Structure 1
Amino acid sequence: MSDAEWAVTRDALPDPGWLRGKGGQPEGYCHRQMLDAIRYLVDNGIKWGPHMVRSARATAELDADLVLS
């Protein structure tokens, strides 16, 4: 996420309760890193999905070829 994207996104997130004096503990992870991780998983999950299906199918075909030979 670029700095410009983060500047817009950060303003859309609510302030944590502990910063507003409502108690609680600080978060253990940076919100920017969590959003980057979600974006990465969504983007790459779509890219890798068809490869995994194709890979499983290719493995099954290889197994069938080995049994027949």
Structure 2
Amino acid sequence: MRDRESFLAQPSVAAFMAWLAELLPTLPVRLRFARSKFVPGGIDTSVSGIEAVLAHYRWRAHWCDPRTSK
């Protein structure tokens, strides 16, 4: 498959995406990260769903916009 549309149109790929879309909101996930300079307090929690993972999974990082230098 050369292009994205052809790839996504395959029945097996479409079935996988449908399965994953149904699973992700309720997926049980255990997050365990040791304390580090990027995760100062560490993380040790269990959550349900990918949105809950995103709410807990934060790295200490910095980003500078090259246009504004902020």
More strand by share: 2
More helix by share: 1
TM-score (norm 2): 0.29
Q: Which has the larger radius of gyration?
A: 1
TM-score (norm 1): 0.29
